[in-house]
Structure 1
Amino acid sequence: MSSVEPRLKFVTCASTAGLHRMAYWEWGDPDNDRVLLCVHGLTRTGRDFDPLAQALCAEYRVVCPDVVGRGRSDWLLDANSYVVPQYVADMVTLIARLAPARLDWVGTSMGGLIGLGLTGMAALSAQLRPDRGASGPDQVSYLSLGKVVLNDIGPALNLDGLARIGEYVGQDIQFASFDQAVQYVRQVSQGFGPHDAAGWEALTRYVFVQQGQQWVKHYDLRIAQPFALQTPEATVAAEALLWQAWDHLAHPVLVLRGAQSDILRADTVRDMLARNPHAQSLQFEGVGHAPSLRSPDQIHAIRQFLLAD
């Protein structure tokens, strides 16, 4: 695998409370207008995609943002803005910066929801402004994703799985050594599947940071606040919007599922395939939520899907 390192860049985004910088890691030719945007899960960072990016950066400019509040990105002034609509708005700003001729998407968990949210907003804009939907020198072409990989996420959300994640997201846990942080990540992330010692260290390196003599979580613990306020009623309303977005995905979609996932149910995958003729699915045994996309078989599956004619 290539030893190339990513370039760290920043883009300035806006929220109702002001401006913030979102960090992103860029791999491959910076002039390549074929872009693969890889968006991570709730408490993770863009560096989760290092092995996948290395495998694809010869064909794509691979861009892996640290969603606001995580990693090298700023923290929001208003914790109530740690929600998918804000993340979608930030991605729109980033995409405008990247100016891709073609945009493909890989989204793990929350990253998949952001992709669906982006699709839903683009579809709504096209409906409200049909005169702007066509391409041309004097017309705005609304954002349309190309191929999409949804990693262990779909329009139907399993409340039990969300509750499990909610138990640890906002916990203020500190460790005296990096090794202790690795053991913690290994404990709460068993759904990532089997990894060797080096793999677990890699999965820890960018989600814990050393402050003084302690290792602390490399994200704003306040992201747990809006997450904890989700009600069953709000979840039902969100699912309706997500299904509408799913129905509007007009290009090939690959749905990945961990066989032991407590977030993406097998029956949800069946419903997704029945509703969207462009979709296909693949399940990984011995994995829960979510496949880490670091193993050779997972990387091969994504590469084969994205590069197929």
Structure 2
Amino acid sequence: MTDPRLEHVQCLDSRGLHRMAYWAWGDPANDNVLVCVHGLTRQGRDFDTLARALSDRYRVVCPDVVGRGRSDWLADPAGYAIPAYVADMVTLLARLNAKTLDWVGTSMGGLIGLGLAALKNSPIRRLVLNDVGPTIEYASLQRIGQYLGMPVRWKTEQEAADALWAISRSFGPHTPEQWLAMSRPQLKADGDGFKPHYDPAIAVPFRQVTPEVAAAGERHLWQAWDSLTLPVLLLRGAESDLLSAATARAMTERGPKARLVEFAGVGHAPTLQAADQVAVVVDFLCKQD
């Protein structure tokens, strides 16, 4: 299969219902499901390369978290928060009716996975966290906040790709073709040009995160981490400014004691496009049965 199916599920929020889009790969009757969830300003097509590698084994489902991609935007920006995203994913999992479920989450998607995996009777069997953990470096949040939600418009896809690359160099080496393919789903047609394919209002709750709020969230996330008993693969860009080496090491020593793999020449976050990155995830998911 070269292209995914675009599907939708209705989810509840404080103002009513919203539609969450998701991209589905592989046999729709396959009870073996892999959910892949993207980072803060990204969308489900980020996982095309990984999905192609695993769609013969899994039904791979890659949602556009609400406010991104093909999903609805929320009337109340307060809903752009991890607990609400976890609730949306519970609705999605009910739709998928999976007998077995594995999870790959990049950055924000990893935090959503951690929150879901820590729930009593969680269906998640194996968890891959891509460059994120319970402690998030505050300086990284400040860096992201410099561009998050800023009004911007581009004349061409290539101009947009170049601008996105300027704020995404920490993703590591990509060919021009790879980066353009990753950038196209990030764009929304706007007259004779393009704008980002996410709701600028996702920046509203993000900018309300103070050091004190971040510290409180960190305590809660470590409690969630320490409660886990499932196998966890932790990926880290060796130059990441969001997941520190110290936090990654602590995640291998407490809670589920994750298996840690670092990628040289990459910051936040590995995009799972490179063959070595894909191979590590495939090996973890497919060789533990």
Q: Structure 1 length normalisation: TM-score? A: 0.92
Paired residue secondary structure (1:176): coil
CA 194–36 in structure 1, closer or farther in 2 if over 3 Å, else same? same
The amino acid that maps onto 1:25 is: W
Report the equivalent of 1:89. 87
Determine if contact 1:251/1:278 at 8 Å carries over to the other structure. Answer: no
The 1-side partners of 2:49 and 2:172 are apart by 16
The 2-side partners of 1:144 and 1:178 are apart by 39
Task: Pick one of 227, 244, 247 that aligns with 2:206.
Answer: 227
Report the equivalent of 2:164. 185
Report the equivalent of 1:109. 107
Report the equivalent of 2:49. 51
Deviation by residue 1:17-63 (Cα, 9 ceiling, x = unmatched)? 11000000000010111110000000000000000000000110000
Paired residue secondary structure (1:146): strand
Provide the identity percentage. 53
1:203 offset after TM fit, Å?
1.7
Report the equivalent of 2:3. 5
Report the equivalent of 1:133. none
Q: Tell me, which stretches of 5 or more residues in structure 2 are unaligned?
A: none
1:40-189 equivalent positions in 2, closer than 5 A: 40-120=38-118, 122-123=119-120, 142-189=121-168
The 2-side partners of 1:107 and 1:177 are apart by 30
1:178 offset after TM fit, Å?
1.1
CA 212–57 in structure 1, closer or farther in 2 if over 3 Å, else same? same
Task: Pick one of 280, 284, 288 that aligns with 1:305.
Answer: 284
The amino acid that maps onto 1:250 is: T
1:277 offset after TM fit, Å?
4.3
The 2-side partners of 1:30 and 1:278 are apart by 33
The 2-side partners of 1:26 and 1:175 are apart by 29
The 1-side partners of 2:170 and 2:100 are apart by 32
Determine if contact 1:185/1:200 at 8 Å carries over to the other structure. Answer: no
The amino acid that maps onto 2:191 is: G
Determine if contact 2:7/2:21 at 8 Å carries over to the other structure. Answer: yes
1:276 offset after TM fit, Å?
2.6
The 2-side partners of 1:250 and 1:97 are apart by 25
Deviation by residue 1:160-184 (Cα, 9 ceiling, x = unmatched)? 0111011111111101111110101
The 2-side partners of 1:40 and 1:109 are apart by 7
1:251 offset after TM fit, Å?
1.4
Superposed CA RMSD in Å reads 0.9
Q: Which moved more, 1:277-286 or 1:6-15?
A: 277-286
The 1-side partners of 2:212 and 2:40 are apart by 21
Number of residue pairs aligned between Structure 1 and Structure 2? 288
The 1-side partners of 2:218 and 2:171 are apart by 25
The amino acid that maps onto 2:24 is: E
Task: Pick one of 242, 259, 262 that aligns with 1:283.
Answer: 262
Report whether the alignment pairs 1:261 with 2:259: no
Q: Tell me, which stretches of 5 or more residues in structure 1 are unaligned?
A: 124-141
Task: Pick one of 223, 247, 262 that aligns with 2:226.
Answer: 247
The amino acid that maps onto 1:22 is: M
1:4 offset after TM fit, Å?
2.1
The 1-side partners of 2:5 and 2:243 are apart by 33
Q: Which has the larger radius of gyration?
A: 1
The 1-side partners of 2:228 and 2:100 are apart by 15
Report the equivalent of 2:22. 24
1:144 offset after TM fit, Å?
3.1
1:278 offset after TM fit, Å?
4.3
Paired residue secondary structure (1:24): strand
Task: Pick one of 172, 184, 190 that aligns with 1:211.
Answer: 190
The amino acid that maps onto 1:305 is: F
